[in-house]
Structure 1
Amino acid sequence: MLRSELFTDDKVDLKVLKERALGMRWAGMPEGTIPLTSADPDFKPAIEIREAMTDFIKGGYFPYAPDALPGLREAISGSLKTRKNEDVPPEFIQPVDSASACMHAIALSVLKPGDEVIIFDPVDLLFGISARYAGATVVYYSPKHENGHWDFSDLESYVTDKTRMIGLCNPHNPLGLLYTEDELRTIATVAAEHDLWIMNDEIWSDIIYSERPFVSINSLGPELNKKTISFYGFSKGFALPGLRAGYLYTLNAEAFETAMHRCYDLAAGVDYLTQIAMKTAVTDCWYWVDAFVERLQSNRDYLVERMIAMPLLHAPKPEATFVSFFDVRETGMSSQQFADYSKEHCKVALVPGTVKWFGPGGEGNVRLCYSTSHAILKEALDRIEAGMQELAGRL
């Protein structure tokens, strides 16, 4: 199959999605409502992954899985080097049952009650959840982002004698932004000078558009990453959210051992079937990821073009991820009010930029996931535009 044929509109199977995609997704919505909510792809994963899992099931045996299948750590290590310029030996990579479990394991490994964690605001809710789970206090930090650059000049002023860790989401969810090498060096230098850990989230690092490259903080070298613990999940780039597949990695041997033990405190490891999917993904399916990103970039460009023409809404252009965090303040509504209006009036479900989901810095914005077919995205934007035109006529 040609790459251009992998993500055509007919590849989104709404019949199956409406049976299986529960929660805030297709199976959890009233009939007729389009859910552009959870950051889950509407597309099926690569055929190689599905066939590898099917072949294993046909074998009829389901033994206990090892910590890592033979060759899995090596395959991940190779992909980190070739795709992201990260030098991570296989022995410092641990498969974990989801990126969120990685976050909890990292937090429990390095934090104690009373510690402070600096979290960029807004950001995905799991940073705050994992820090608080370990008994730490969240310190929200809202760096300015203007003209394509972050300003971290005041980051150090947020460090106190209680600060223990900085949370880094790269690429950034929900803003869809990347970090330059200099910006990452600033963060790493502040952390090193104050002996802070860095929890480095790279779950979105495969969804990168053509304007700017992805730079990992790990590519700065071991001296600036002595206390960096990173993690990755297969839910975004490989469309495998329900398998709870991820891995944790660091160059700090002591921290790696501690984090591994914490992983086992939280769960008993990654099941055999999921590890087969992980190994197949990083070994055979990068062509699929690249084609997926092409589809997503087309969706992103269409979304931004449509949003520019709509009254009352302002949508920046994401550099990465497949979510748009757009400004709704001109409507006079709060984030929650707008999300309610969109769901009830436009029949399009979105995620409000409330404290619950993204921290206090998300207020006035709403997140839209555009990892779906062009036809579904067009219908959703048609509905939102009609709702905005009606609303603008009343203001």
Structure 2
Amino acid sequence: MIFDFDVPVTRYDTGSNKWSRYSRDVLPLWVADMDFQVAPVITEALRKRLEHQVFGYAAAQESLRQQIVNTMQERYNWRIIPADIVMLPGVEPGFNMALKAFLKPGDSVAVQTPVYRPILSAPSFWQLQRRDIWLNPDEDGSWPLEDITWKEQLKHSQALLLCNPHNPTGKVYSRAELEKIAHICDQHDTLIISDEIHCDLVYDKQKHVPIASLSPEISQRCITLMAASKSYNIAGLKTAFAIITDPEKRAQFENSRLGMVDSVNIFGLIATEAAYRSGDEWLSALKTYLQGNRDFLVERIRKELPEVTLHTPQSTFLAWLDCSQLNLETVPADHFLNVAKVALSNGNEFHETATKNFVRLNFGCTRSVLSQALDRMIDSVRALS
């Protein structure tokens, strides 16, 4: 089947957060939300469920749990059982539940900075100390694991809030890197809470490795958080899941709902099962298109905005742009919004002080929109010369 991701989809007047925040003369390339129609198998599954016409409280059916089990085995060679799965309304509630369940006020949690705001902010919600592990790129554009930094910060941390693939840099952790991280955590009895929501969107024939899949022993100290939401563009259906193989940890995690984390959207459950069961062909085509967008973006930035540093993202549909050398009179996000009429995520969202001259750009859009946005950004900078 052929999927055409160049077909524009009008999202105005649909309740889209992405397209309603700014005026209509602004191209929104900010929040991590793609502009593509979902896989037809998802639409068909939702249509069939709509025909039932009763939409009460939902519970995950055994078929969904078994499909998640099958997907983990097929994609990541990770053996889990249906009982390991805890359904959630989102990954963000999941890692906040984990921090609340397993840490106490005053404890420390390590995070990889820069990192997207929900992870950056989460420790403060529970009176935890945040320990930053700063990601620094090599000259070749890779993001190496600096053992000394990880060892020092994890030595003093009760938990690691891991983001893999990483948002906003697009780094994919290799098996060898994850084994090093897991070894350090094992040495210091550090809990691993792993946000792996972008796990399906990796490029250049790389493979995502869930850190919990490294061994049964490592799995016992892991809370793994995943969803079909980013990969299949169904984030608005508010469905995710945790995989927790330790029964005691799973029960403790469930107890931290505290009346705040409710049941899951019935349509999200249906869409997730359809995506994992029958959406592989669509996902493969999407990844090819997104990798093309990524390459188009990198080439244009390097040729036409060489002052901007962009390391090719290995995953996600997000690019992390260092605009420090532009020497703008205002922060880059404000410049591109007010002058170029392109909305990007402000670097300050990913660290309080160190990333004000960065922006995050969402290339999960049609090539036409991406090209228009880059035209505007490039013209806005050239006009300053």
What TM-score bracket applies, with the shorter chain setting the length?
A: over 0.9
Q: 1:272 is matched with which residue?
A: 266
Q: 1:296 is matched with which residue?
A: 290
Q: 2:4 is matched with which residue?
A: 6
Q: One-letter code of the match for 1:370?
A: F
Q: Report the aligned-residue RMSD.
A: 1.7
User: Does structure 1 residue 380 correspond to structure 2 residue 378?
Assistant: no
* Cα 1:378–1:21 shift into 2, 3 Å: farther
Q: 1:362 is matched with which residue?
A: 355
Contact conserved, 1:234 with 1:246, CA < 8 A, in 2? Answer: yes
Query: Cα offset for 1:347?
Result: 0.8
- The alignment of Structure 1 onto Structure 2 pairs a total of residues equal to 381
Q: 1:55 is matched with which residue?
A: 48
User: Does structure 1 residue 316 correspond to structure 2 residue 311?
Assistant: yes
Contact conserved, 1:115 with 1:164, CA < 8 A, in 2? Answer: yes
Instruction: Write the mapping of 1:4-153 to structure 2, written as runs, cut at 5 A.
Output: 5-7=3-5, 9-10=6-7, 12-14=8-10, 17-23=11-17, 25-66=18-59, 68-146=60-138, 147=140, 148-153=142-147
Q: One-letter code of the match for 1:72?
A: L
Q: 1:329 aligns with which of 312, 316, 324?
A: 324
Q: 1:284 is matched with which residue?
A: 278
CA–CA separation in structure 2 for the residues paired with 1:31 and 1:87 = 47
* Cα 1:62–1:258 shift into 2, 3 Å: same
Q: 1:229 is matched with which residue?
A: 223
CA–CA separation in structure 1 for the residues paired with 2:369 and 2:254 = 42
Q: Higher mean Cα deviation, 48-57 or 184-193? A: 48-57
Q: 1:343 aligns with which of 337, 342, 347?
A: 337
Q: One-letter code of the match for 1:34?
A: L
Instruction: Write the mapping of 1:171-320 to structure 2, written as runs, cut at 5 A.
Output: 171-263=165-257, 265-311=259-305, 312-320=307-315
Query: Cα offset for 1:273?
Result: 2.0
Q: One-letter code of the match for 1:6?
A: D
Contact conserved, 2:226 with 2:240, CA < 8 A, in 1? Answer: yes
* Cα 1:178–1:343 shift into 2, 3 Å: same
CA–CA separation in structure 2 for the residues paired with 1:316 and 1:43 = 25
Q: Higher mean Cα deviation, 168-177 or 207-216? A: 207-216
CA–CA separation in structure 2 for the residues paired with 1:226 and 1:360 = 36
SS in 2 for 1:236: coil
* Cα 1:358–1:246 shift into 2, 3 Å: farther
CA–CA separation in structure 2 for the residues paired with 1:48 and 1:264 = 35
Contact conserved, 1:243 with 1:274, CA < 8 A, in 2? Answer: yes
* Cα 1:93–1:55 shift into 2, 3 Å: same
SS in 2 for 1:237: coil
What is the identity percentage for the equivalent residue pairs of Structure 1 and Structure 2? 27
Q: 2:364 is matched with which residue?
A: 371
Q: Give ranges in structure 1 of 5+ residues lacking alignment.
A: none
Q: Give ranges in structure 2 of 5+ residues lacking alignment.
A: none
Q: One-letter code of the match for 1:192?
A: D
Query: Cα offset for 1:266?
Result: 2.2
Q: One-letter code of the match for 2:9?
A: D
Query: Cα offset for 1:28?
Result: 2.0
CA–CA separation in structure 1 for the residues paired with 2:113 and 2:64 = 35
CA–CA separation in structure 1 for the residues paired with 2:33 and 2:283 = 14
SS in 2 for 1:309: helix
CA–CA separation in structure 2 for the residues paired with 1:343 and 1:363 = 15
Contact conserved, 1:36 with 1:349, CA < 8 A, in 2? Answer: yes
